[in-house]
Amino acid sequence: MTEAADAQQTPPTTAKPRAAGQPEGAEGSEGPGRSIPAPPDLAAVQRRTVKVLMSAQVVAGIGMGSMLSSGGLLVEHLTGSEGAAGLATTMTTLGAALLSVPLAALSRARGRRAGLGIGWLVAAAGALTVLAAARLGWFPLMLAGMLLVGSGTAANLQSRYAAADLATSATRARSLSLVVWSTTVGSVLGPNLSGPGEAVARALALPEAAGTFVFSVAAFIAGWAVIRLRLRPDPLLLAAGRDAAAVAGPAARQPAFFARMSTAIRHVATRPAALTGLTALVIGHAVMVSVMTMTPVHLAHHGASLSVVGFTISLHIAGMYALSPLVGWAADRLGRVPVILLGQAVYVVATLLAGTSGGDRRAVTAGLFLLGVGWSCATVAGSTLLTESIDAEHRSEVQGASDTLMNLVGAAGGALSGGLVAVVGYGGLNAAAAVLVLPVSACALFFSLRTRSTP
């Protein structure tokens, strides 16, 4: 079955079995001797969609999490430079930025199954490339592999939007947050594979930090399989109400995707709520990436083992994902903007703890955990506010553009973080990250005050 077939509802001449995702007994009829499938139960399809997305995030999250604590160390091993260690995260984030738009275009044309599935396959190819580079000791090839691995980040981020395709306004943040939360299992487990990864690396004659990429290959392929086989019917195609002809035909008649993106960005500029959500997403991601990138190197230079580094990053990822259902509930009940502001306050506390930690591993770990919580608040509430503030015709382009901007700014933060640590130290990096909460807070407060003053 193709993605287009998921959304097709062609009236048959005889009774047919119920469509995928359609409740039993939901068939309808039209005239004597003719029956047509009744419209699918959207609530049932939404529940199934969220479950499938959560399953894919669990397995594929292992692939992303296992690399967070080892990518920078592998770069340092290949180059012998501490300042270059941030390039691993930088290339992954840059790859996510470059690939977010093509994956969003693919999702618009062929549905979420195509966009998310291809995203995980490209990430698997990237992890294989990194393994080849580690074996050959060729640093430029490793950077190319990490660029492709960024496709996994793009697929991970776009999965949260897939959870919102069929959601109602009352439950949109909760649905989105559940998919974000499901990444917890794999992403927390992933960094703790550093120990087993060392054994795998020795068996394959690889640098010790490269072993976890073997697990990443398997995890990304598993994520692709879950999406490809189980995400039926496709939520984006169903939400858009397109049949097979609509999916195949309009691409040639519509403006080019980048032209539609330009229109969509101008659309965002006219929506204060959308601008607030986008600002929270983009700058909040930069704060998280810049500090997280250099934390493994900071810990290693204070004598921490790979296992300790992996444990710290695991708790950071737990902060990003484990509390997201609570964050989603708060965003639905209290409002999107209050949760965004809460996230900025948590960022300040996190950078204060980590930045003043010195060699205290407990303070670094606590700071990284809170850094993840701040990211969760900004991402869940910001994504929800952005999605519901945009007209449906522009939604796919805006979602792709927001992920691209998130990752471009994150890549810049990762690239600058190594040099900044070399100049002003890890504490100075955290201080610079804390300053970035000011524009987000100002934008959110301005929007909140404007909303209260407008009938």
pLDDT, tens digit (0-9, with 9 covering 90-100), for 172-183 = 888 999 998 887
Percentage with pLDDT > 90 across the chain:
39
Q: Supply the DSSP string of 297-364, one letter for each residue.
A: HHHHHTT--HHHHHHHHHHHHHHHHTTHHHHHHHHHHH-HHHHHHHHHHHHHHHHHHHHT-TT-HHHH
Q: Supply the DSSP string of 18-71, one letter for each residue.
A: PPTTPPTT--EE-STT-EEPPPP-HHHHHHHHHHHHHHHHHHHHHHHHHHHTTH
What is residue 203's DSSP assignment? H
**Tokens standing for 148?**
């492709």
HSE-up of residue 212 (Cα within 13 Å, Cβ side): 26
Average pLDDT, integer, range 181-192: 75
Percentage with pLDDT > 70 across the chain:
85
Burial 31-55 (b: 16+ CB within 10 A, else e): eeeebbbbebebeebbebbbebbbb
pLDDT value of position 244? 40
Q: Is CATH 4.10.93.10 correct for 42-453?
A: no
Average pLDDT, integer, range 120-132: 95
Average pLDDT, integer, range 189-216: 85
pLDDT at residue 252 above 70?
Answer: no
pLDDT value of position 6? 42
Least confident window among 16-25, 40-49, 312-321: 16-25
pLDDT band at 314 (very low <50, low <70, confident <90, very high): confident
Average pLDDT, integer, range 98-107: 88
pLDDT value of position 231? 94
Q: How far apart are CA 109 and CA 251, in angstroms?
A: 7
pLDDT value of position 280? 95
Q: If you average pLDDT over every residue of the chain, what do you get?
A: 82
Least confident window among 45-59, 133-147, 218-232, 239-253: 239-253
pLDDT at residue 288 above 60?
Answer: yes
Average pLDDT, integer, range 381-396: 86
Per residue in 53-93, pLDDT (tens digit) is 999 998 888 888 777 668 878 888 888 776 677 678 778 87
Average pLDDT, integer, range 2-29: 41
Higher pLDDT, 314 or 51: 51
pLDDT at residue 187 above 90?
Answer: no
pLDDT band at 415 (very low <50, low <70, confident <90, very high): confident
pLDDT value of position 257? 56
pLDDT value of position 77? 81
pLDDT value of position 282? 93
Average pLDDT, integer, range 380-405: 86
pLDDT at residue 330 above 90?
Answer: yes
pLDDT band at 390 (very low <50, low <70, confident <90, very high): confident
pLDDT band at 31 (very low <50, low <70, confident <90, very high): very low
SS3 of 231, please?
Answer: coil
Q: Domain coordinates of the chain in residue numbers?
A: 42-453
pLDDT value of position 255? 55
pLDDT at residue 228 above 80?
Answer: yes
Per residue in 337-359, pLDDT (tens digit) is 999 999 999 999 999 999 998 87
CA distances from 101 to 63, 93, 112, 157, 394 (A): 22, 13, 13, 12, 13
